[in-house]
A = this chain, B = another copy of it.
Amino acid sequence: MTRPRGRPPQGQGMARDDILTAALALLDEGEGQGLTMRALATRLGVTPMSLYHHVGDHAALLQALSERVYAQVLEGIDDLADAKARIRALLTRYHQAVSRHPQLTMAIFDTPEAYAGITCQITQRLTSLLAQITPEPTLWCDILVDHAHGSSLALASARGDPAQLRALQHRQQQALDVLLSQFPKG
């Protein structure tokens, strides 16, 4: 089930992208701590140490995963007309990203290295957008981001129950609408 010992022939080595895909699948399927270096290695038909050449250690793996998942959140935001539309799009995408991979939020939050990278960009962008529509941009950034994270925890603990999961997603969309309706030109 594992590979021969030496350097693999040209183009036969593992692709970093395939590792991340498998890791994400493992995270989504698994109860609690499904994503371990050893389980990931087994799934890829490889020795655990082999992973360290491609993704670094466990923290680096989670950081790479979070970058992949949250990359789309900020993309194309500037094409939208006004600040409020941009804010709504950014938060909607953030919620979507988070609700597609509920376990990722948990995993990221007990891996400070992984946490720092992503959310910094998102919160900075969000804060500067909020500054255009409210005198309290950092306060509202906290409220909105904390809400996203909290609701992602709720999704994580509703794993395995698709009906409850959809109900939660619907309520969270409503919650986002309510929060955003605080601002003028709603």
Contact = CB atoms under 8 A, between A and B. Distances in A.
Interface of A: 32-33, 106, 109-112, 115, 136, 138-139, 142-143, 145-151, 153-154, 156-157, 171-172, 174-175, 178-179, 182
B32 A138 contact: no
A136 B175 CA distance: 10
Contacts of A110: 32-33, 106
A154 B175 CA distance: 20
Interface of A is mostly: helix
Contacts of A178: 136, 139, 143
Which residue, A109, A150, A182, has most C-beta atoms of chain B within 10 A? A150
Contact of A149 (B112, B143, B150, B175): B150
| Count of this chain's copies in the oligomeric assembly | 2
Contact of A154 (B112, B146, B156): B146
A112 B31 CA distance: 10
Given A110-B106, A147-B147, A154 B172 contact: no
Given A142-B151, A142-B172, A149-B150, 20 more contacts: A32-B110, A106-B106, A106-B109, A106-B110, A112-B157, A136-B178, A139-B178, A142-B171, A142-B175, A143-B178, A143-B179, A146-B146, A146-B147, A146-B150, A146-B154, A146-B175, A149-B149, A149-B153, A149-B154, A182-B182
A174 B32 contact: no
7 contacts: A109-B156, A139-B171, A139-B178, A142-B175, A145-B150, A146-B153, A150-B151
Which residue, A32, A154, A182, has most C-beta atoms of chain B within 10 A? A154
A105 to B, nearest CB: 8
A147 B106 CA distance: 16
Given A150-B146, A154-B146, A175 B139 contact: yes
